Amino acid sequence: MNRINLLTSVSSFAARYVPLLRDRHLLTKNNHLRLRYVVGGSAVFAVLLGMGLGHVASTTPAKQLAHIEPAAGLTAPAILAQDLRRDPLAKESASLTAQNEATAPLQPKVLQVKVGKGETLSEVLEDAGVSLEEAGNVVKAVSRHINPRQIRAGQKLDLRLDPDKSGSGLALTQASFAIDPLRTLRVERGNNGDLQSRMDEKPITARRQAARVIIDGSLYMSADKAGVPDRITANVIRLFSYTVDFQRDVKNGDKFEVLFDSYLTPEGELVKTGDIVFARIVLGGKEYPLYRFKTKDGTEDYFTPDGRSIRKSGGLMKTPVAFGRLTSGFGMRNHPVLGYTKMHKGVDFAAPIGTPVYAAADGVIEKAGRFSSYGNYIRIRHSSKLGTAYGHLSRYASGIRPGTRVKQGQVIGYVGNTGRSTGPHLHYEVLVNGVQVNPRSVKMTVDNRLKGDDLQRFREHIRRLGQEYVQNVPSVTVARNASN
């Protein structure tokens, strides 16, 4: 540890006062003390006492003194004289440290600091020993690239301070911090003495990634073990929510396969995931493949092998909630709250509070508000005849209000326990001409098939994607043998 040069003579100390303070600041950074301003001599003493009692058992009063920058109108020697006089320990420590390091030259400092909760960039820099003015210059340099207010707690900064021209103090020469896995913001002192800043960006490369997941227990955990990022798993579930009743149909031993885009740093670190281009779920030996395809008119969508769009089907999602478990179907049941047999006019999906709820099909929000025993309730009109309703929500997605147009699969709200409800779940209803019907009885007859040129291209497209999957997936030969 680098110890301070604390001179016993008050007058010679005065000349070194400011660099000395900065030096100490660095040494005690780990204690996270932030005392930069004091209003007068007596306040200084009070602060020192408080620190000595409560805070830094391992540091001497002389060290603590170094945290305090002189307040306006109060000179440094005045603070020192006062405190050495009032605190005998400080005096002793001062003379001890003076002996071995009074003449040691200032060394450059390389350090990493972390932004604390509620701290500004300027405050962090000042804590690290950068002067107020210099910290201001760094903030200015940083703001050419990002809004310094967006720097969050936990952000790490690498700093380098070198002896300044006079040799009596340290000045910032370099500061850098990784904004995200791709971008590093660097501030450096140029030859002219000014701080210059630049954003270094790593190139990202796109890669097709394939994975095969055998479901064993939780679908998410199984996918995680197979190296599938959560976002991709969530999107696989959402894609198949149009055709698969997830919690009812998926059993252990079932599997899904997925081919998706991922974006990587040169070091191979995943930056973000892109689109799923192919996914296949195998339930009880039955395969449901889906392919992403762009039609002639420019719309991208997912299609079954026979060229049917899953989205434009006009059909309803079977599970309009992310990973919900069907707990109560449509029909007569004993009402869990009221205790008598009652017609259940919808289906219930148990899911934790906050689980996203999807619009079961394209439509317009008809109602989004409290509605008697339904609690927070949304009703969507999909056509002049068909509607869906969602009850017991904890809250609505932003922008969801009567008149809002929604897309199938769009998040409209979140699972809750509002209204007459015994636990967090989604109560989901399908309405035909305003009357609740069993969702399973609703059949859609919309022509959503690819035709002509599109269909030709689609057939070639799915052949290519199939090959690409085989080339990319680990141990696919085994998988194919196993499923044959």
Query: What residues make contact with Zn ion under the rule CB under 5 A?
Result: 346, 348, 427
Measured CA to CA, the distance from residue 112 to residue 177 in angstroms comes to: 10
Question: Which is closer to Zn ion, CB of 88 or CB of 336?
Answer: 336
CB of 426 to Zn ion, least distance (A): 8
Measured CA to CA, the distance from residue 201 to residue 244 in angstroms comes to: 42
CB of 243 to Zn ion, least distance (A): 23
User: Biggest alpha carbon distance in the chain?
Assistant: 95
CB of 404 to Zn ion, least distance (A): 24
Question: Which is closer to Zn ion, CB of 136 or CB of 419?
Answer: 419
Question: Which is closer to Zn ion, CB of 257 or CB of 348?
Answer: 348
Phi, psi of 329 (to 5 degrees): -90, -175
Instruction: DSSP for 257-310, please give it.
Output: EEEEEEEE-TT--EEEEEEEEEEEEEETTEEEEEEEEE-TTS-EEEE-TTSBBS
CA atoms lying within 13 Å on the CB side of residue 101: 15
Measured CA to CA, the distance from residue 207 to residue 475 in angstroms comes to: 18
Q: Specify the DSSP class assigned to residue 221.
A: H
CB of 394 to Zn ion, least distance (A): 15
Q: Contact at 8 Å (CB) between 230 and 273?
A: no
Question: Which is closer to Zn ion, CB of 47 or CB of 351?
Answer: 351
Question: Which is closer to Zn ion, CB of 303 or CB of 428?
Answer: 428
Q: Determine the residue with CB nearest Zn ion.
A: 427
Question: Which is closer to Zn ion, CB of 292 or CB of 427?
Answer: 427
CA atoms lying within 13 Å on the CB side of residue 449: 10
CB of 388 to Zn ion, least distance (A): 13
Give the 3-state secondary structure of residue 144. Answer: coil
CB of 458 to Zn ion, least distance (A): 40
Q: What element of type H or E holds 110?
A: strand 109-114
CB of 391 to Zn ion, least distance (A): 7
Question: Which is closer to Zn ion, CB of 211 or CB of 426?
Answer: 426
Question: 2 is written with which tokens?
Answer: 């680098």
Phi, psi of 103 (to 5 degrees): -110, 0
Query: Residue 326 pairs with which residues in a beta bridge?
Result: 349
